[in-house]
Structure 1
Amino acid sequence: MQTADLRIALFTGNYNYVRDGANQALNRLVGYLLSQGASVRVYAPTVAEPAFPPTGDLVSIRSIPFPGRSEYRFPLRIQRSVRADCAAFAPNVVHVASPDVSAHHAVSWARKRQLPILASVHTRFETYPRYYNMAWGEPIIEAILRRFYRRCDALVAPSESMAQVLREQRMNYDISIWSRGVDRETFHPGRRDNAWRQALGIADDVVTIGFLGRLVMEKGLDVFSDTIDELTRRNVRHKVLVIGDGPARGWLEARLPDAAFAGFQTGADLGRAVASMDVLFNPSVTETFGNVTLETMACRLPVVAAAATGSQSLVDDGVSGRLIPPGAVHQFAEALRAYIEQPQLRLAHGAAGEARSGEFSWDRINQTVADTYLRLIRQKRAGSRRGQE
Structure 2
Amino acid sequence: MTDIKRPDRHRRHITIVSETFPPEINGVANTLRYLCQGLMSRGHHVTVIRPRQSRESLKPAPNNHSPLFEHELVVCGLPIPNYTEFRFGITRPKTLVTLWQNHRPSCVYIATQGPLGLAAVGAAKQLDIPVLSGFHTNFHSYSRYYRLGAFERLLSAYGRWFHNRTQRTLAPTRRTIATAQGMGIGNTALWSRGVDCERFSPKKRSNSLRQQWGLQENDRAVLYVGRLAPEKNLSLAVVCFERIRKLYPTARFILVGDGPMKAHLEKRHPEFIFCGMQKGDDLAEHYASGDLFLFPSKTDTFGNVVLEAMASGLGVIAFNDAAASEHIRHNENGMKAPLHNDDNFVQHALKLADQPSLLRRVRSKARLDALDLSWNQQIDVFERLAFNSYIQVSSHADNKQSFPVL
Give yes or no for TM over 0.5.
yes
Question: Structure 1 residues 222 and 133 mapped into 2: Cα distance closer, same or farther (>3 Å)?
Answer: farther
1:364 paired to 2:370: no
Within 1, Cα distance between the matches of 2:96 and 2:331?
51
Question: Structure 1 residues 147 and 81 mapped into 2: Cα distance closer, same or farther (>3 Å)?
Answer: closer
Question: Structure 1 residues 82 and 381 mapped into 2: Cα distance closer, same or farther (>3 Å)?
Answer: closer
1:219 paired to 2:225: no
Conserved 8 A contact 1:17-1:46: no
Within 2, Cα distance between the matches of 1:379 and 1:159?
25
Within 1, Cα distance between the matches of 2:124 and 2:172?
24
Conserved 8 A contact 1:116-1:377: yes
Indicate the larger mover: 152-161 or 253-262: 253-262
Task: Give, in angstroms, the shift of residue 19 of structure 1.
Answer: 1.6
Q: SS state of the match for residue 269, structure 1?
A: helix
Task: Give, in angstroms, the shift of residue 214 of structure 1.
Answer: 2.0
Which letter does structure 2 place at the counterpart of 1:348? R
1:28 paired to 2:34: yes
Count how many residue pairs are aligned between Structure 1 and Structure 2.
Answer: 383
1:144 paired to 2:158: yes
Conserved 8 A contact 1:201-1:260: no
Q: 1:78-227 to 2 correspondence within 5 Å?
A: 78=92, 80-173=94-187, 175-227=188-240
Task: Give, in angstroms, the shift of residue 186 of structure 1.
Answer: 1.3
Task: Give, in angstroms, the shift of residue 138 of structure 1.
Answer: 2.0
Within 1, Cα distance between the matches of 2:116 and 2:54?
20
Task: Give, in angstroms, the shift of residue 79 of structure 1.
Answer: 6.2
**Alignment partner, residue 343 of structure 1:** 356
- Across the aligned residues of Structure 1 and Structure 2, the Cα RMSD in angstroms comes to 2.3
Structure 1 segments unaligned to the other structure (5+ residues): none
Within 2, Cα distance between the matches of 1:231 and 1:329?
15
Deviations along 1:100-130, whole A, 9 cap, x unmatched? 1121121111112111111112121121012
Identical pairs, percent: 26
Conserved 8 A contact 2:197-2:370: no
Within 2, Cα distance between the matches of 1:310 and 1:140?
27
Within 2, Cα distance between the matches of 1:33 and 1:17?
18
Q: SS state of the match for residue 5, structure 1?
A: coil
Question: Structure 1 residues 129 and 41 mapped into 2: Cα distance closer, same or farther (>3 Å)?
Answer: same
Within 1, Cα distance between the matches of 2:198 and 2:42?
22
**Alignment partner, residue 18 of structure 2:** 12
Within 1, Cα distance between the matches of 2:330 and 2:144?
26
Deviations along 1:71-123, whole A, 9 cap, x unmatched? 11112243644442233221121111101112112111111211111111212
Structure 2 segments unaligned to the other structure (5+ residues): 1-6, 399-406
Q: SS state of the match for residue 257, structure 1?
A: coil
**Alignment partner, residue 243 of structure 1:** 256
Within 1, Cα distance between the matches of 2:54 and 2:95?
20
Which letter does structure 2 place at the counterpart of 1:202? L
**Alignment partner, residue 404 of structure 2:** none
Q: SS state of the match for residue 10, structure 2?
A: helix
Within 2, Cα distance between the matches of 1:261 and 1:360?
30
Deviations along 1:288-320, whole A, 9 cap, x unmatched? 222111111112222111222222112112221
Within 1, Cα distance between the matches of 2:354 and 2:27?
32
Task: Give, in angstroms, the shift of residue 274 of structure 1.
Answer: 0.3
Which letter does structure 1 place at the counterpart of 2:42? Q
1:63 paired to 2:70: no
Which letter does structure 1 place at the counterpart of 2:199? T
Within 1, Cα distance between the matches of 2:182 and 2:170?
15
Which letter does structure 2 place at the counterpart of 1:97? A
Task: Give, in angstroms, the shift of residue 149 of structure 1.
Answer: 0.5
Task: Give, in angstroms, the shift of residue 169 of structure 1.
Answer: 2.3
Deviations along 1:136-166, whole A, 9 cap, x unmatched? 3322211110000001101111222222222
Which letter does structure 1 place at the counterpart of 2:20? N
Task: Give, in angstroms, the shift of residue 16 of structure 1.
Answer: 2.5
**Alignment partner, residue 272 of structure 2:** 259
1:316 paired to 2:322: no
Q: SS state of the match for residue 322, structure 2?
A: coil
Within 1, Cα distance between the matches of 2:298 and 2:101?
39
- TM-score when scaled to structure 1? 0.91
Question: Structure 1 residues 216 and 76 mapped into 2: Cα distance closer, same or farther (>3 Å)?
Answer: same
Conserved 8 A contact 1:124-1:286: yes
